[in-house]
Amino acid sequence: MLRYISRRLLSILLSLFLIITATFFLMRAAPGGPFSGEKKLPPEIEKNLNEYYGLDRPWYNQYFDYLVSIAKWDFGPSFKYKGQTVNDLINDGFPVSFFLGMESLLLAVSLGILLGVIAALNHNKWQDYGAMIFAVLGISVPSFIMASLLQYVLAIKLGLFPVARWESLQHTVLPALALAATPMAFIARLTRSSMLEVLSNDYIRTAKAKGLSKGQITVKHAIRNALLPVVTYLGPLSAAVLTGSFVIEKIFGIPGLGSQFVLSISNRDYTTIMGVTVFYSILLLFSVLLVDIAYGLIDPRIKLAGGKKGE
Amino acid sequence: MQQFPKEMFQPASVDLSEAEKISKPSLSFWKDVSIRFRKNKLAMFGLILLVLLVFMAIFGPHMTKYDYSTNDLMNTNKPPSAEHWFGTDDLGRDIFTRTWYGARISLFIGLAAALIDLFIGVLWGGIAGFRGGKTDDIMMRIADILWAVPYLLLVILLMVVLGQGLGTMILAMTITGWINMARIVRGQVLQLKSQEYVLAAQTLGASTSRIMFKHLIPNAMGPILVTLTLSIPSAIFTEAFLSYLGLGVPQPLASWGTMASEGVQALQYYPWRLFFPATFICLTIFAFNVVGDGLRDALDPRLRK
């Protein structure tokens, strides 16, 4: 186990190094310098700015400095917001995004599993078809369309929820739902197919023969075993929630890191784009690792020593 | 009890040639697959939908007298009518024409990205799987590290740096998109290369590339095809997502993604501007998904749920 984790950590570090290097050189190759706005700056000022941000030094120095500062968890200053660092932006925005993400994760997992189990228990009945139509909808509708429709119908037309902003728990319902829709659909499909597989196993028949009630069989024997594939999906799920948040936060006017990221894209705020990308990558890589470890703990049949994904 | 005299019994005639007769016509693997696929109503529905969508993408833009990029500022934001079947947008452009023109671009992006992924993935996975040993280790290690890079973040980053455009979008999508295909091909090749017919081919002196393209790849075609079909909708999805972030194909080009993201902004007043592109995005993704699922079931009946 320890060997496995240290191996994984090493490969995570390699991936991170690759990401940081790629972001660094991509951003250097990006058209237009950080200060080339509408107005042409006087050369003296530009020189001063370049000096201040260390942009006049050779690239390998800059690159090395960047690696060192990221190792110290310092993402540097924002080029568009004077006086703010990327760390400030992350510290401000991330708690909001984290709350929203957790809420929709919870929604996606609980509702998804519920739908999947109902569908599998009523295989080929209307509940099954209903749940699967719902799941297909969730998979085929892009998140920004889903979010706009939810906002339009439930908030603007019916007035059931606040339209936008981030104030009370009520404000979080619609964005969390919109964010959860696609992953929920995936989980429902996954749960359904693995439930169906588990239900056809011999030990279920044994349990029935022993005279256990349907509820006991479902909860104690079927669901527990059917949930394993769902656990593996948690890694990609966190990625989906994270990238989904860019769009959802923008639509619902939520001051999270996702909307900040989108803003920095349209502002071409290179240091922020770099910093947030690296931050998100770290987050994702470690959540995938956590999921893999959890998977090994839940199902002792899985051997972690191989250390290869997808096997 | 009734008695059965011996005379009532007759020896049954055993005709050995009868047992050798094949009662069903012999089917090739792909014929068998196509029969199973055609029995799947949902998948057939998806396939018909796809054919219709492709047909409209080819002929749709020519069905009206309008051009996809000509502004008509006298007729902006008109609801659907006999003049403009799907209405017009904020610059008076005909949405019907733009929708089918956008279908070309969206489908092209999906297909191109999927085919490039296929090409790189089959080569990479095939070589890694067939060579095995150190080569496999190194190649798959590289793929693993690239795979860990968050896909959409990298695509966004590349789009920001390379600038908007059809080519850059496809490039950005394929830079890590091929890995999934490579893994699947590698898994298949690993499984297939120990089969007797590969050994037979090797003994007969067939070259590595011949074994690869004549024996291994055709036998791995099933999973490759399924992965291909399922990667097209995810490319279309990504295109829509990027368009919403303002990183889509540049104006006046129309893709479903850019049209939908413009429509979202006008949803309150001109809902048809979102309705048409959004419906076709969903229908396309739906169709590819059910066709892919149907193919998977048809190829491997054991997996059918």
List the single residue in B147, B183, B305 with the smallest CB-CB distance to A196. B305
| pLDDT exceeds 60 at position A303 | no
List the single residue in A22, A239, A265 with the smallest CB-CB distance to B156. A265
Number of Cα atoms under 13 Å in the Cβ half of residue B176: 21
C-alpha torsion sign, points B244, B249, B252, B256: negative
Chain B, residues 146-205, CB within 8 A of chain A, namely 146-154, 156-158, 160-161, 163, 183
Q: Cβ separation of B146 and A12 shorter than 8 Å?
A: no
Give residue B116's pLDDT band: very low, low, confident or very high (50, 70, 90).
very high
Supply the pLDDT for residue A243: 73
Say if residues A108 and A184 touch (Cβ distance below 8 Å): yes
- From the list B303, A197, A126, A105, the residue with the least C-alpha distance to A118 is A126
Tens-digit pLDDT profile for residues A106-128: 888 889 888 888 888 887 788 88
**Contact list, A30 vs chain B (CB under 8 Å):** 160-161
Q: Does B232 touch chain A (CB under 8 A)?
A: no
Average pLDDT over residues A156-173: 71
Average pLDDT over residues A158-164: 71
Tens-digit pLDDT profile for residues A261-270: 888 877 777 7
Supply the pLDDT for residue B301: 60
| Minimal C-alpha gap between A201 and chain B (Å) | 13
Chain B residue closest in CA terms to A265: B160
Residues with Cβ within 8 Å of B87's Cβ and at least 6 positions away in sequence, in order, are B77, B78, B79, B80, B81, B95, B270, B272, B273, B276
Q: Cβ separation of A144 and B261 shorter than 8 Å?
A: yes
Task: Choose the most confident range, by mean pLDDT, from A39-48, B7-16, B77-86.
Answer: B7-16
Supply the pLDDT for residue B302: 58
* Tokens 């593996």 -> residue: A232
The ipTM assigned to this model is 0.74
Give residue A36's pLDDT band: very low, low, confident or very high (50, 70, 90).
low
Mutate to test the interface with A, among B161, B273, B293 (most CBs of A within 10 A): B161
Give residue A311's pLDDT band: very low, low, confident or very high (50, 70, 90).
very low
Say if residues A140 and B282 touch (Cβ distance below 8 Å): yes
Distance CA A263, CA B232 (A): 29
Q: Does B275 touch chain A (CB under 8 A)?
A: no
List the single residue in B150, B245, B246 with the smallest CB-CB distance to A281. B150
State both tokens at B39.
Answer: 């029995």
**Contact list, B157 vs chain A (CB under 8 Å):** 22-23, 26, 273, 277
Average pLDDT over residues A232-256: 79
Q: Cβ separation of A243 and B161 shorter than 8 Å?
A: no
DSSP chain B: -----GGG--PPP--HHHHH--SSPP--HHHHHHHHHHH-HHHHHHHHHHHHHHHHHHHGGGSSS--SS---TTSTTPPS-SSSTT-B-TT--BHHHHHHHHHHHHHHHHHHHHHHHHHHHHHHHHHHHHH-HHHHHHHHHHHHHHHHS-HHHHHHHHHHHH-SSHHHHHHHHHHHHHHHHHHHHHHHHHHHTTSHHHHHHHHTT--HHHIIIIIIHHHTHHHHHHHHHHHHHHHHHHHHHHHHTT-SSPTT---HHHHHHHHHHTTTT-THHHHHHHHHHHHHHHHHHHHHHHHHHHH-GGG--
| Minimal C-alpha gap between B150 and chain A (Å) | 6
Give residue A308's pLDDT band: very low, low, confident or very high (50, 70, 90).
very low
Chain A residue closest in CA terms to B285: A140
| pLDDT exceeds 70 at position A305 | no
| pLDDT exceeds 80 at position B52 | yes
| pLDDT exceeds 50 at position B261 | yes
Q: Cβ atoms within 10 A of the Cβ of A206, count?
A: 12
Supply the pLDDT for residue A30: 67
| Minimal C-alpha gap between A296 and chain B (Å) | 19
Mean residue pLDDT across chain B: 80
Distance CA A106, CA A104 (A): 5
Q: Does B301 touch chain A (CB under 8 A)?
A: no
Q: Cβ separation of B144 and A309 shorter than 8 Å?
A: yes
Q: Cβ separation of A142 and B148 shorter than 8 Å?
A: no
Q: Cβ separation of B289 and A30 shorter than 8 Å?
A: no
Tens-digit pLDDT profile for residues B159-216: 877 777 788 888 888 888 888 888 888 888 888 888 888 888 888 888 888 888 888 8
Q: How far apart are the first and last CA of chain B?
A: 51
Say if residues B51 and B284 touch (Cβ distance below 8 Å): no
Q: Cβ separation of B145 and A284 shorter than 8 Å?
A: no
**Contact list, A27 vs chain B (CB under 8 Å):** 161
Tens-digit pLDDT profile for residues B263-303: 777 777 777 778 888 888 888 888 888 888 888 878 776 55
Distance CA B289, CA A182 (A): 14
CA A237: distance to chain centroid? 6
Supply the pLDDT for residue A309: 40
- From the list B55, B220, B25, the residue with the least C-alpha distance to B126 is B220
- Considering only CA atoms, give the Rg of chain B: 27
List the single residue in B150, B264, B268 with the smallest CB-CB distance to A156. B268
Distance CA B97, CA B67 (A): 7
Mean residue pLDDT across chain A: 78
| pLDDT exceeds 80 at position A17 | yes
Q: Cβ separation of B157 and A288 shorter than 8 Å?
A: no
Supply the pLDDT for residue A302: 58
Beta-bridge mates of residue B94: B88
Q: Cβ separation of A29 and B161 shorter than 8 Å?
A: yes
Average pLDDT over residues A240-253: 79
| Minimal C-alpha gap between B144 and chain A (Å) | 8
Average pLDDT over residues A14-33: 77
**Contact list, A197 vs chain B (CB under 8 Å):** 305
Tens-digit pLDDT profile for residues B59-87: 877 777 777 777 767 777 677 776 777 77
Distance CA B219, CA B300 (A): 13
Q: Is pTM, for the whole model, over 0.90? A: no
